Amino acid sequence: MTRMRQLLAADGDVVVSGTVDNQGRFYRRFDHVVLLSAPLPVLLERVRRRRTNPYGRTPEQRAEIERHVRSVVPLLRRGATCELDTRRPLAEVVDTIERLLRQPAEELLGDRHRD
């Protein structure tokens, strides 16, 4: 937690990626909390096709992914200020994130933004 506080105290834009149990403690320090999402079948197909990480190949691991999508993703969605569907072209997703870096949260339409 100390390292995260130091990172967030640094000048300039900071983009953090990942999921940890205590991440909600830091949400107020971010202009945006972006959830990158995709439907479960898409996630499972992506895990099946990837070659750089073996996680998700066993039936048990795939069942764990399904449980997380049902139980964890709704929690992440509630804390997010923006959700981006990663079935969209990568360039569009990246462009949206870059636009968010230049745009304060209060300028977004309403209090939540869905792309």
User: 6-60, pLDDT tens digit by residue?
Assistant: 777 776 677 777 888 878 887 887 888 899 999 999 999 999 999 999 999 999 9
Q: Which two tokens stand for residue 28?
A: 């107020």
- Res 4: pLDDT: 76
Q: What angle do CA 90, 94, 99 make, to 5 degrees?
A: 150
Is the distance from CB of 56 to CB of 62 less than 8 angstroms?
yes
